[in-house]
Structure 1
């Protein structure tokens, strides 16, 4: 928590090909109302992605879990879920 916002980051390193997409879900629903950004880099023939989700403090306090999902076409998504109590707060 900084400046009244919670910030979560998802990193995916050294993958291929480039057409993976990252998205966020809060309590199993898409995070269309939240602020998030995705970045992609290319080095040594492989791609790396990062996605940062920023939530206002009041919204963060209401969330039970946050899931980041990496998808590529029709392949099964790769997901990671965090509950609020697993995250450090300062």
Structure 2
């Protein structure tokens, strides 16, 4: 079993200036498939605005992405954004602080 490599990407400044915010959680290089992504904002699970997809890599491992789409207002209301990944019996979390993304 190979654990996914997880990275959490903040919304771009261009996107924020346009009035929306999308966070992206990327998983790569894991096997077998079956990774589950969940999102939390300030410790509360969020399911609205979440879109996930996965695909098989040439190596036979899997990669997937999950996006959380928010309005700029909702983005500004939260501070701690977390992407949680459960891959069979192993869980890991990546987090970012909104205040550290304001450029």
Q: Normalising to structure 2: TM-score of the pair? A: 0.76
Give 4+ residue runs of structure 1 displaced > 3 Å after superposition.
none
How far 1:3 moved relative to its partner?
Answer: 3.0
Alignment gaps of 5+ in structure 2: 1-15
Higher helix fraction: Structure 1 or Structure 2?
2
Count the aligned residue pairs: 87
1:29 aligns with 2:44: yes
1:10-21 alignment runs, 5 A limit: 10-21=25-36
Q: Which residue of 1 aligns with 2:55?
A: 41
Query: What value does the CA root-mean-square deviation take over the aligned residues?
Result: 1.5
Q: Which residue of 2 aligns with 1:68?
A: 83
Alignment gaps of 5+ in structure 1: none
Q: Normalising to structure 1: TM-score of the pair? A: 0.86
